């Protein structure tokens, strides 16, 4: 017997994960409701996309809207570090020695992607565009509705929220939690496990008038995302173009540095960037136009990502670390892959846990690859630089940087090699990279859910 | 390839590209790592040079101090790797 419900699918949260899944499902004719706690547009961290978002945007029919939305085009990524002057560059293949590594997306063809750029986005505008897009496809969207909890009954789930003094319960057949780092269901069902290794924090803001080419060696690349390494352990800065004149800048650091800052974000931010005088100088000549915003405790996994009548997508399922700008792409691709299982399950009439098996497998594999790539990056940074420069591995590393981790099987060869080499270096004190080992050390077992 | 020939090519590379002056004398037993002439970063580029010039890849597991101590050891490493290639 089919239970009596208000909607087939109830989606909690209208960020990229929520509006993407709403778009896929509404387009296929399911009745969906999206409940978003904020009034859009609202500011949000996570402004630099990677190309794996492109096929998803194209699929749901939003790519042309985004392309015409005036978001800066992102053709590649670059890394800079403070070089000690005693390190010879020796005409190495990197275009300007060890000072930086860089990649351009056009160097590698990617299935489903016909453009050699992705975007940097003002998330206020981007998320609004996507949410309205899902509405145009038939999803019912309520903003300013903060969900309090989900009540699980046999066939029906009740999504509970308050309207004035009244408590309302919407009845749905399947709950998709896309509530981001609020992790509504993860907390309610006590599924959340803080990451034992990653404990990074970030402080970020926007600057007007920053000379983005000040640190770019090649002016053409001024609109790449820049990752500037600071000479402080595991600390780096992002530089992301938001408009012609506005640039998002954030410092990511270990929790201990962050705690020591005692919530004095301004002085902390300034002290951190001061360790790269060229960067500090460029920042002084520009004007800060948003308050400093801290982000913390963002690395975690979930014991389960789906169950009878519920599933988690995007940050609500997992987040590791922002170093490779993978967040929005994981949000949108997890939504895409979840929607395939949901549509299949809707036809067969039940949303039991077994119907989400493919989703779980694919998510675990993709996020597992990300996790490992990120761990190795922090553990042995020089390996990343060497692999980017090495013609044997460059394409494979680029594949990861493009976010192309969902539909192939197995893990990228470069990742396997990186893991082997890291082990060598760890075990052999005579290895020339041994003293480059970082302090973050990921457990060797597969990441848990 | 002969020991002397490989040694000569490597010596030239280190003189010109690492020390940036052809005039400096480096002997086959000058302790490159100990004296900081080579470090882990510049060794990475030396490895790229070896691949281009001699057509052999230095596997990461052989990037150890013992093999890069001085020009003599690096030469021996290159010759060993060339031998391995020929055997295959
Ligand atoms: C420091 C830092 C830097 C980052 N940089 C990047 C980057 O450069 N590129 C990138 O791709 N990613 C980046 N990320 C990750 C990125 O922010 C996220 O992965 C992405 O926003 C996830 O999308 P989502 O839709 O899952 O969640 P969100 O975008 O967080 O959306 C969740 C939505 O749910 C709503 N919500 C929450 N609780 C409730 C509730 N109870 N009821 C109703 N609504 C609710 C929220 O208001 C929000 O709108 C970064 C993350 C951090 C922490």
Q: Which residue's alpha carbon is nearest to atom 17 within ligand 1?
A: A46
Q: Sorting pLDDT into bands at 50, 70 and 90, what band is A314?
A: very high
What chain B holds in terms of domains, given with CATH numbers, is 3-20+28-87 (1.10.1200.10)
Protein residues with CB under 6 Å of any ligand 1 atom: A 12-18, 35-38, 44-49, 146-147, 178-182, 184, 202, 250, 295, 298, 314-316, 319, 322, 325, 327-329, 331
pLDDT of residue B57: 87
Tokens for A30, please give them: 């399911």
Measured in Å, residue A15 CA sits from the centre of ligand 1 at 6
Q: Sorting pLDDT into bands at 50, 70 and 90, what band is B87?
A: confident
Secondary structure element (H or E) that encloses residue B52, with its range: helix B40-54
pLDDT of residue A380: 84
Between A239-253, A262-276, A341-355, the lowest mean confidence (pLDDT) is in A262-276
C-alpha distance from A430 to closest chain B C-alpha (Å): 5
pLDDT of residue A408: 73
Q: Which residue's alpha carbon is nearest to atom 49 within ligand 1?
A: A15
Q: Please report how the helices A16-27 and A123-136 are oriented relative to each other, as an axis angle in degrees rounded to 10.
A: 20
pLDDT of residue A445: 41
Nearest to A430 among B20, B48, B64 (CB): B64
CB burial string A202-220: b at 16+ within 10 A, e below: bbbbbbeebebeebbbeee
| CB-count exposure of residue B36 (10 Å: 0-12, 13-18, 19+) | exposed
Measured in Å, residue B66 CA sits from the centre of ligand 1 at 49
pLDDT of residue A98: 42
Between A35-39, A47-51, A350-354, A430-434, the lowest mean confidence (pLDDT) is in A430-434
Q: Sorting pLDDT into bands at 50, 70 and 90, what band is A92?
A: very low
pLDDT of residue B37: 84
pLDDT of residue A2: 58
What's the mean per-residue pLDDT of chain A?
A: 89
Q: What is the pLDDT of residues B30-41, one digit of tens each?
A: 999 888 888 766
pLDDT of residue B23: 72
Percentage with pLDDT > 70 across chain A? 92
DSSP string covering A343-406, please?
HHHHHHT---GGGGHHHHHHHHHHHHHHHHHHHHHHH-HHHHHHHHH-TTTHHHHHHHHHT--S
| Residues in chain A closer than 8 A to B48 (CB atoms) | 92-93, 389-390
- Residues in B whose CB is inside 8 Å of some CB of A read 17-18, 20, 33, 36, 39-46, 48-49, 57, 60-61, 63-66, 68
Measured in Å, residue A127 CA sits from the centre of ligand 1 at 10
Quickly tell me which residue has 């993407």 as its tokens. Answer: A20
Q: What is the pLDDT of residues A370-404, one digit of tens each?
A: 888 888 888 888 888 888 877 888 999 999 999 99
- Taking a C-beta distance cutoff of 8 angstroms, is the pair B5, B20 a contact? no
Percentage with pLDDT > 90 across chain A? 63
C-alpha distance from B39 to closest chain A C-alpha (Å): 8
Q: Which residue's alpha carbon is nearest to atom 13 within ligand 1?
A: A46
According to DSSP, the residues that pair with A160 across neighbouring strands are A149, A169
In A49-122, alpha helices (H): 54-59, 63-67
Q: Find which of B19, B39, B44 to mutate to test the A interface (most A CBs within 10 Å of its CB).
A: B44
Given a cut of 80, is residue A444 above it in pLDDT? no
Q: What is the pLDDT of residues A395-415, one digit of tens each?
A: 999 999 999 988 777 788 888
Half-sphere CA count of A236, side-chain side, radius 13 A: 20
C-alpha distance from A373 to closest chain B C-alpha (Å): 18
pTM attached to this predicted model:
0.89
pLDDT of residue A167: 95
């Amino acid at each position: 017997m089919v239970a009596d419900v208000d909607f087939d699918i109830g989606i909690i949260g209208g960020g990229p994960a929520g509006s993407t899944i709403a778009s896929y499902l509404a387009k296929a004719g399911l009745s969906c409701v999206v409940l978003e706690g904020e009034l859009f547009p609202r500011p949000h961290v996570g402004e630099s996309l990677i190309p794996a978002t492109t096929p998803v945007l194209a699929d749901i029919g939003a790519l042309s809207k985004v392309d015409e939305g005036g978001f800066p085009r992102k053709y590649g990524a670059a890394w800079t570090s403070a070089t000690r002057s005693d390190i010879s560059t020796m005409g190495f293949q990197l275009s300007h020695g060890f000072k930086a590594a860089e990649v351009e997306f056009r160097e590698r063809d990617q299935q489903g992607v016909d453009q050699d750029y992705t975007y940097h986005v003002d998330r206020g505008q981007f998320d609004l565009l996507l949410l309205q897009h899902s509405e145009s496809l038939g999803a019912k969207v309520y903003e300013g509705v903060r969900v309090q909890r989900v009540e699980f009954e046999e066939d029906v789930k009740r999504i509970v929220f308050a309207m004035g003094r009244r408590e309302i319960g919407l009845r749905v057949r399947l709950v998709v939690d896309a509530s981001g780092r609020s992790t509504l269901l993860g907390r309610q069902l006590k599924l959340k496990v803080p990451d034992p290794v990653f404990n990074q924090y970030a402080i970020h803001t926007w600057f007007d008038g920053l000379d983005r080419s000040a640190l770019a060696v090649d002016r053409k690349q001024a609109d790449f995302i820049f990752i500037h390494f600071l000479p402080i352990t595991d600390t780096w800065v992002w530089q992301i173009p938001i408009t012609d004149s506005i640039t998002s800048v954030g410092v990511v650091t270990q929790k201990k540095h962050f705690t020591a800052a005692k919530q004095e974000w301004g002085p902390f931010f300034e002290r951190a960037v001061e360790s790269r005088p060229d960067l500090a100088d460029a920042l002084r000549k520009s004007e800060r136009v948003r308050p400093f915003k801290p982000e913390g405790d963002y690395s975690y996994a979930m014991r389960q990502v789906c169950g009878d009548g519920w599933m988690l997508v995007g940050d609500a399922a997992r987040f590791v670390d922002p170093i490779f700008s993978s967040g929005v792409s994981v949000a949108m691709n997890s939504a895409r892959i979840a929607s395939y299982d949901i549509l299949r399950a809707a036809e067969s009439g039940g949303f039991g846990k077994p119907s989400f098996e493919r989703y779980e497998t694919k998510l675990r594999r993709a996020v597992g690859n990300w996790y490992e790539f990120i761990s190795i990056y922090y553990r042995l940074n020089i390996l990343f630089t060497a692999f980017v420069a090495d013609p044997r591995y460059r394409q494979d590393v680029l594949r990861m940087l493009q976010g192309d981790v969902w539909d192939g099987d197995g893990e990228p060869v470069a990742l396997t090699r990186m893991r082997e080499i890291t082990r060598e270096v760890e075990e052999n004190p005579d290895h020339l990279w041994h003293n480059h080992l970082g302090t973050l050390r990921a457990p060797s077992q597969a990441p848990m859910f | 390839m002969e020991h002397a020939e490989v040694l000569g090519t490597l010596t030239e590379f280190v003189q010109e590209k690492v020390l940036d002056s052809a005039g400096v004398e480096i002997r086959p037993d000058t302790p490159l790592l100990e004296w900081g002439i080579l470090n882990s970063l510049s060794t990475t580029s030396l490895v790229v040079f070896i691949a281009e010039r001699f057509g052999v890849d230095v596997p990461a597991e052989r990037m150890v101090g013992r093999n890069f101590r001085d020009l003599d050891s690096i030469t021996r490493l290159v010759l060993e790797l060339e031998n391995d290639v020929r055997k295959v």
